[in-house]
Amino acid sequence: MTALTIQGISKSFEGVQALQATDLVIASGKFTTLLGPSGCGKTTLLRMIAGLETPDQGELRIANDILYSSKQRKNVPPHRRGFGMVFQEFALWPHLTVFENVAFSLRASGQKKDIKARVLTALEQVRLQGMEQRYPHQLSGGQQQRVAFARAIVMQPRLILFDEPLSALDAILRDEMRTELMNLVQQLGVTALYVTHDQTEAMAMSDEIIVMQSGSILQRGTPEQIYQQPSHPFVARFIGHSNWIDNGHQMVRPEHIRWYSNHSPDEHIHTGMIKQVSYMGDRYEILLDMGEERLWTAYQDERMTVGESVTIYISAHHVHTLNPV
């Protein structure tokens, strides 16, 4: 597949602007994530790409292949776009077997040949061989989600759209399914566009993250770029703990707050009081009260006492400066 190009696509519902005019190119063969809080327009954008929602204006295309154009009054229906889709609610047909759930989209698109072989291959790819004759209610949550994956890949799509596919699962299963989903996408070599409000999930899975807020894109970049060089205070606050020092647009991450001086002349030195201690298993997270500000730090060794006074050190090269907005 060549890149998916989004040009000037916008959408409002009853006067509420769900998505501002947006330009975006989604790279082929990559795992790209739309990340942002609930209500910022992620699902609206994904559904417009799928063809399930009509944009107010703009153009969508794959290479020179136009999927939607307001100017040319062109709108390719969802089943002709060649995309797979996985939703949060799995959306399986309860009265159909696993086999028939996966075969459904093949039959609906008029395919008659090789249905059995293609369904069995898809089920094997998600490790559900032998489960063909079961019904959804006879499967665990993780197995149901794998049926939804099989249904998305059986058409051999050029792009798979995922809308918060793991958020209905409990924490342990979510971690397992995250690994499975990443493996599957990698094995198939398919382009993935993934929606989540979960920063950890986005960081763990993506080649590239697109951060959204209130219907707009704020920043795009690799997980490292988004975490280390946020371009906007909202991005810095939304991903990980951010500490704001001095004039409010200088930011430092917890792991760069040192408890011992490295005796370099560029160190900022602060004193404060331990306000809160949280044991996270692999580290203690400590909230410091610095008078004006509060700072999160990651401290590795032993439990410290709330109320204790401490001195901390921050090297100038770990301070990230954001442009004031």
Binding site for Mg ion (CB under 5 A): 43
CB of 218 to ligand ADP, least distance (A): 13
CB of 87 to Mg ion, least distance (A): 10
For the chain, state the CA radius of gyration.
24
User: Pick from Mg ion, ligand ADP, none: which does 41 bind, CB < 5 to 8 A by kind?
Assistant: ligand ADP
User: Pick from ligand ADP, Mg ion, none: which does 40 bind, CB < 5 to 8 A by kind?
Assistant: ligand ADP
* Residue 42 CA: distances (Å) to CA of 29, 58, 101, 151, 193: 21, 17, 27, 22, 11
User: Pick from ligand ADP, Mg ion, none: which does 81 bind, CB < 5 to 8 A by kind?
Assistant: none
Output 134 or 232, the one with its CB closest to ligand ADP: 232
Output 38 or 72, the one with its CB closest to ligand ADP: 38
Let me know: does 254 contact 241? Beta carbons within 8 Å. yes
User: Pick from Mg ion, ligand ADP, none: which does 13 bind, CB < 5 to 8 A by kind?
Assistant: ligand ADP
CB of 39 to ligand ADP, least distance (A): 4
CB of 210 to Mg ion, least distance (A): 14
Output 43 or 243, the one with its CB closest to Mg ion: 43
Burial classification of residue 145, based on how many CB atoms lie within 10 Å of its CB (0-12 exposed, 13-18 middle, 19 or more buried): buried
CB of 41 to ligand ADP, least distance (A): 4
What does 111-147 look like in DSSP terms, one character per residue?
--TTHHHHHHHHHHHTT-TT-TT--GGGS-HHHHHHH
User: Pick from ligand ADP, Mg ion, none: which does 39 bind, CB < 5 to 8 A by kind?
Assistant: ligand ADP
Output 39 or 78, the one with its CB closest to ligand ADP: 39
User: Pick from ligand ADP, Mg ion, none: which does 172 bind, CB < 5 to 8 A by kind?
Assistant: none
The closest of 188, 117, 201, 199 to 159, measured between CA atoms, is 188
CB of 146 to ligand ADP, least distance (A): 24
Output 19 or 177, the one with its CB closest to ligand ADP: 19
In sequence order, what are the residues at sequence separation of 6 or more whose Cβ sits closer than 8 angstroms to the Cβ of residue 90? 136, 144, 145, 147, 148, 168
Distance of CA 141 to the CA centre of its chain: 21
Let me know: does 110 contact 83? Beta carbons within 8 Å. no
Output 214 or 250, the one with its CB closest to ligand ADP: 214
Instruction: Give the pairing type, strands 74-75 and 65-69.
Output: antiparallel
CA atoms of 169 and 141, how far apart (whole Å) = 7
Residues that bind ligand ADP (CB under 6 A): 13-14, 16, 18, 36, 38-44
Provide the 10 A C-beta neighbour count for residue 54.
11
